[in-house]
Copies of this chain bind each other. A is one copy, B any other.
């Protein structure tokens, strides 16, 4: 049920004083092999944190033996000193584990601009502590050490379902942990995800599986339309199961874990009172469906209406009308929690029939312009969101 669910991985999460609260703040995940193939996806933001700048280069060869992550500071826009901090962190991990620094991926999360001498000293101290604490059941500690505004740790696991092995529930595992309440691009807060598998797979297979999975999961979680400087998602394979995974089965398992973690991120989004699933059907292409769904997910007026339990379909149509996806705005049907309140661009069922009291909220937008569909996850815009994000830095 964690980043150590797959064989061949150890992890740790320790309190090293990066956070002033004394909570766990440094996590280490180690791949003991025999393989060290790895893939990663990083934020599309051009303003990238120092650990992202490092990790992008270090993983270019498709290999990684460890991921070290800290909360309590993003080490972003901290200049040459901050990049040196990241480099020193990788070197310290390498030294403790007897591997090369190039095989160490680094992640940081917290406030932008935080990364001074004290930060550096605490993170390096955390590496020492974490290296001592590494354990085959350390996944839960690691998941806790990467939390910032998260109220709960996020972990998920899926068993491989290779041909012939499906009946037995699969013989390899994909496990993972996540923090944040956002998405890869964009993201509410920094989203960090580490996925591990004991299946045997080369880096190019991992890369394709990871990109396919994130595209359909984290990329469609749009909590508040903001894109982080630190978002990173890793997939590490140890091959410890001795089984070469079928690529389709691996992709399915990785996608299942990502989907589970994305749902956990959505449910823990800062200040949210509704988890909104926006399903767009009848689009010309899947990309069109995503664009349409995202336009609604980014409408503050729509999101505030959901907070107020108001099935305001006018705000849905006003949002999708700003896209250039091919459809006729006057042919669209919109349903809130199963009640079609707008048919062919005109009022349909009375809004009083819609019950928006449950946290889980389902919006269905039928474009009647094709056969493609996509689902976007978002949250409502609440007083608590404003409060948490106006008070976060203080």
Contact = CB atoms under 8 A, between A and B. Distances in A.
Contacts of A322: 44-46, 186, 227
Interface of A: 44-48, 74, 76-79, 111-113, 186, 188, 224-229, 298-301, 304-305, 307-308, 310, 312-315, 317-323, 329-330, 342, 344-347, 381-383, 385-387, 389-394
A77 B314 contact: yes
Contacts of A387: 383
A227 B318 contact: yes
A226 B319 contact: yes
Interface majority SS (helix, strand, loop, mixed), chain A: loop
Given A226-B319, A227-B318, A308-B390, 12 more contacts: A47-B320, A47-B321, A47-B329, A77-B342, A112-B313, A188-B301, A226-B301, A229-B318, A300-B381, A310-B392, A312-B393, A386-B386
Contacts of A313: 112-113
30 contacts: A45-B318, A47-B318, A47-B329, A74-B314, A77-B314, A77-B345, A77-B346, A79-B345, A79-B346, A112-B312, A112-B313, A112-B314, A224-B300, A226-B299, A226-B318, A300-B300, A300-B385, A300-B389, A301-B389, A305-B390, A307-B386, A308-B389, A308-B393, A308-B394, A310-B390, A310-B393, A310-B394, A383-B387, A385-B386, A386-B386
A223 to B, nearest CB: 10
A77 B301 contact: no
B305 A225 contact: no
Contacts of A321: 45-48, 227, 229
Nearest to A228: B318
Contacts of A391: 308
A85 to B, nearest CB: 13
Contact of A314 (B44, B111, B389): B111
A224 B299 CA distance: 8
B224 A317 contact: no
Contacts of A330: 77
Contact of A347 (B113, B317, B381): B113
**Residue from A305, A315, A389, A391 whose CB has the most chain B CB atoms within 10 Å:** A389
A113 B188 CA distance: 32
B112 A318 contact: yes
A306 to B, nearest CB: 8
A393 B305 contact: yes
A70 B389 CA distance: 38
